[in-house]
Amino acid sequence: MTEYDYWKIFSRMPKKVTIGDITVRDGFQHEEKFISTAAKKFYLEELIFAGCRDIEVTNLGNPFLMPQFKDAEELLAHVRSDRFKQRCQRKGVNYDDITFTVITIREGAVDRAIELRKKGIGPDRLLMMVSTEEEHHFANSGTTLPDYWQEAERCIKKCNDAGMKMCGTVSTIWGSPIGGATDLKDAVKFSKRWLEIGAHDIEHADHDGSASAAEVYRYYSMILDEIPNPDLHIAHFHETKRVASASVLAALQAGITHFEATLGGLGGQPANFLDDCPVKGTGDYYYEDPRYVGLVTLEDTLVQIDEMGIEHGWDVDRVLWLGRQMEKTIGRRLRSEAIINGRTLKEGHPQFARPGLKKRKEKLGENPGQCWPADWNPEPELPEAYRP
């Protein structure tokens, strides 16, 4: 007998996942206008109240390069404030369950995080990043790979000594926008190296939407064969070809349990223009049309996972509302389809029914729910030519 149970076909696929949000950091870094500090505070709070427990707050890099994050310390002070902790308590949120992450690509940012920790407003978790393709890595960090690995090893020891955790990101797994094709085996080695030097977990990133579903399934199967604890792995997908939902599904089928996304699918390479002024960012954009840059949308990903019956801990309807607010904040139509079309309702949309069906069936002598003529066999019989 054919087995139709999804979880038996894909034995590693989880029934419960964690979905982190990175809107306020990765999402906003791509915007060419400054998002107000008040708006950032609003979305940090509301995402947590909607169910987020793993959230990126800001980037502690040099604000000269990315002035979108010139309010980094104010945001950290806000989420560490007694007022916010009290609001969490009133909302039934266990504050201690929340992990606040900041991006610290270089050692100076790690040192800044440590100083903030001493002041009582530091993050719980930091993130550094390598690319398996060195030209892409150099464009992002300004260092060679060997030099950066030594820097990362120092930084991990520093942050662990300060009571913080480090996430190591591996990028260009499925290809580089600069160097082209890459080898999945290199990313597996890079992942092992992060853990070897003390990283707490690994973000596996498709930073430019290069991934295809088949290669995503292959890569994460390789990863879980080599490093089997799923809690060590976070899937990070960008959306440039409108196929990232297939990548999410493929990662689930492979056994990945941790994902991250942004409201509206915001995000991408840091902006090199802000408001009315050019800024350094990370240099020239490596894409031609910003409409096709960004991450998987939190709204659509949640609807996808929710309708698969996978537990996730979010208030989906609240997230759909937040997605509609985000379009007002950004001032343009974003990428979520779920905020427009909603969820698939089991009860349907009876308001669109054509009047008169019940009376018509009564007139024809048909029973409610009757699908075919009364003198037909109750079960269809497939012609022999079409049988398996």
Helix segments in 282-315, DSSP class H: 298-307
CB atoms within 10 A of CB 322: 24
pLDDT above 70 (res 362): yes
Q: In the 8-state DSSP scheme, what is residue 265?
A: G
Own/partner pairs for 245-250, CB < 8 Å, 24+ apart? 245/296, 245/300, 245/301, 245/304, 246/212, 246/213, 246/216, 247/206, 247/211, 247/212, 247/213, 247/216, 247/296, 248/296, 248/301, 248/304, 248/305, 249/213, 249/304, 250/213, 250/214, 250/216, 250/217, 250/220
Pairing of strands 277-278, 273-274: antiparallel
Cβ of 91: how many Cβ atoms within 10 Å?
11
Confidence grade of residue 215 (pLDDT, cut at 50, 70, 90): very high
Closest-CA residue to 59 (of 26, 102, 29, 112): 102
Quote the distance between the C-alpha of residue 70 and its chain's center. 24
N- to C-terminal Cα separation, the chain: 12
Q: How confident is the model at residue 31 (pLDDT cuts 50, 70, 90)?
A: very high
Return the amino acid letter for 77.
A
Q: Is 261 exposed, middle or buried (0-12, 13-18, 19+ CB in 10 A)?
A: buried
Average pLDDT, the chain: 95
Q: For 133-165, write each residue's pLDDT tens digit.
A: 999 999 889 999 999 999 999 999 999 999 999
Q: To 10 degrees, what angle do helices 316-330 and 37-49 make?
A: 170
Dihedral pair phi/psi, residue 259, rounded to 5°:
-135, 165
Q: What is the pTM of this model?
A: 0.93
Mean pLDDT within 72-82: 98
Taking residues 157-183, report their average pLDDT. 95
The enclosing H or E element of 129 equals strand 125-131
Among 81-95, 117-131, 230-244, which is the least confidently predicted range? 230-244
Complete domains list, the chain, with CATH: 6-341 (3.20.20.70), 357-386 (no CATH)
For residues 272-297, one letter each, b for 16 or more C-beta atoms within 10 angstroms of the residue's C-beta and e for the rest, the string is: bebeeeebebbeebeeeeeeebbbbb
pLDDT of amino acid 2: 59
Angle at 100 between CA 112 and CA 272, to 5 degrees: 60
- Res. 1 pLDDT band, cuts 50 70 90: very low
For residue 284, pLDDT beyond 90: no
Quick one: which H or E segment has residue 168?
strand 165-171
Q: What are the backbone dihedrals phi and psi of residue 254, each rounded to the nearest 5 degrees, phi first?
A: -75, -20
Residue carrying the six token digits 């949000």: 21
Average pLDDT over residues 253-269: 96
Could you give the CA distance from residue 148 to residue 97 in angstroms, rounded to a whole number? 32
